[in-house]
Amino acid sequence: MGDAARLRAPRPRCKLTYSRISSFSSTRASWALSFFLLTLLSVQQLMDAVENQKSVWKSSRFDNSYTDAKRQSSEFVAYKNTEKRAWIAEKRDVDTLLGNIQTKLKTYNLATYVPPQGLTLMVGVWRPDFLLLLVLQDLDQVWDSLLEAEAARHRTINSKIREIKENLRKSFATAANDFQRYLNGISTELVSLQGDLDYQLSRVHSLASKLQPLQASLGKIEDLDRQCVAANVEENDYTIYTVDDLSFDLKLVQQAVQKKSGFIENQIVSRNMTNLTPAQLEEFESTFRYFDKDQSNTMSAPEFNAALASLGMFYDDEEFKTLFRQLAGGNDEATFEQFITFMVSITEDKTTPDQLRQSFKTVASDKLGIQRHPLTFYPTLQPWVTELDLKMCLVPVPVINHLKQTMPPSRQNPDGYDYSAYVNQVFTK
């Protein structure tokens, strides 16, 4: 064997050394490669997911509604309870895996593996000794940036919710205060009406037209109130009014305008009735107002019948139906003017104190009481009628209540009423 051949032939001791070196390198490379393969995919996916979540938060926008802000808040809480917890567990697994590899290397008396600083791994890049591994320091940096973005996201959502609640308070307060101010203006103008009746009536009609849009405005305020309730806005320092307050006041002003309009219309009608005395007009008007239960300035057939009965005019059902149909022109309601016109016709044609007294006498079944005259001391007859008499003649209950309030009590019967004095009282006004 020549010298050259001897040099090429492996020496026994060199062969053993080569084998050990090869085994050592192979073992360490195998563990390093194992770490790479087990962690590369999961770590890279984790970092991508974190960056994607940060990008979603950064591009997120609010539409300034509480529903949207609350939805994003719920999504943020759900993220912390699901995705983030899965990421935390995954990160802990990676840290544990690295620790296990380091322990195994030490067990085999291998040098402890220290990952190179900085993320230099690119798929397909090789170095002479082993594949570059995903550096855990980079994952920590990404994780720290996630925590910062998470805190900023939490502050942004809470700030937006507070801003939306404050805007809801101000929006509701502005609408409520303006609504009440407008109502107060109408009420003030209504109270200060003066001048000719026709002018006052035109102003009242104008005020009524101003009230019409307020119902729609109240609906918008109710919607704002519902938004406040949904946003858990329980206090509002910008206004003292609630929806119930505004609704109540609106009804009062509407009723006041309606009453004022009816009153002026009735005064115009009364002004033109020159053939009635002021006392008669007042009597008829007060009777009309009393039986106009719904304050519509009109009377239904039952209300009209009760009003006539209170004035001592009684009709059977068929006769009254015919009378009311002609009087109201076929309508279901009779106006004040129609009522006064009818009363004028009755007064001019046949209504006299004697006739009214005779009607009461019929109802009372000719009951008379004896009373001594205060001057002559001679006994005199005092007619009286009881509530039972009126009910027996089927006088409507509202009429009976009206008569009980206006008829003087009888001196002979504690349960009776002096209808003769009442008749004298009515016709001497």
For residues 304 and 355, the answer to whether their CB atoms sit within 8 Å is no
The predicted pLDDT at position 125 comes to 40
115 pLDDT more than 60: no
For residues 133 and 39, the answer to whether their CB atoms sit within 8 Å is yes
Residue pLDDT, tens place only, 139-153: 788 888 999 989 998
CA atoms within 13 A on the CB side of 95: 10
Residue (of 421, 429, 407, 422) closest to 276 by Cα position: 429
3-state secondary structure of 108: coil
Of residues 205 and 422, the one with the higher pLDDT is 205
The predicted pLDDT at position 327 comes to 86
Q: Distance from CA of residue 227 to its chain's centroid?
A: 8
Residue 299 has φ and ψ, to the nearest 5°, of: -130, 135
| Residues 241, 245: Cα–Cα separation, whole Å | 6
Residue pLDDT, tens place only, 4-17: 444 444 444 444 44
Residue 116: band (very low, low, confident or very high) from pLDDT cuts 50, 70, 90: very low
Domains along the sequence of the chain with CATH: 13-162 (1.20.58.60), 353-427 (1.10.238)
| Residues 310, 304: Cα–Cα separation, whole Å | 10
Q: What is the mean pLDDT of the chain?
A: 78
Of residues 39 and 405, the one with the higher pLDDT is 405
Residue pLDDT, tens place only, 217-266: 999 999 999 999 999 898 899 999 999 999 999 999 999 999 898 888 88
Q: Which residue carries 């507070």 as its tokens?
A: 162
Reported in sequence order, the residue ranges of 215-353 that DSSP labels E, i.e. its strands, are 298-300, 333-335
Please state, in angstroms and as integers, the Cα–Cα distance from residue 102 to each residue in 44, 96, 133, 138, following that order: 21, 10, 14, 19
Residue 58 amino acid letter: K
Question: Which of these ranges, 46-50, 219-223, 343-347, has the smallest mean pLDDT?
Answer: 343-347
Burial of 159 (0-12, 13-18, 19+ CB in 10 A): exposed
Residue 82 has φ and ψ, to the nearest 5°, of: -125, -75
Which pair of structure tokens corresponds to residue 195?
């001048």
Q: Within a 10 A sphere around the Cβ of 385, how many other Cβ atoms?
A: 25
Q: Which residue carries 């591009």 as its tokens?
A: 59
Residue 300 has φ and ψ, to the nearest 5°, of: -75, 175
387 pLDDT more than 90: no
3-state secondary structure of 192: coil
Cα angle, residue 323 at apex, residues 418 and 302 outer, rounded to 5°: 60
pTM value is 0.56
Question: Which of these ranges, 52-61, 196-205, 219-228, 377-386, has the smallest mean pLDDT?
Answer: 377-386
Contacts of 375 by beta carbon, 8 Å cutoff, 6+ apart: none
Reported in sequence order, the residue ranges of 229-354 that DSSP labels E, i.e. its strands, are 298-300, 333-335
| Residues 138, 149: Cα–Cα separation, whole Å | 17
Contacts of 429 by beta carbon, 8 Å cutoff, 6+ apart: 277, 279, 280, 282, 283
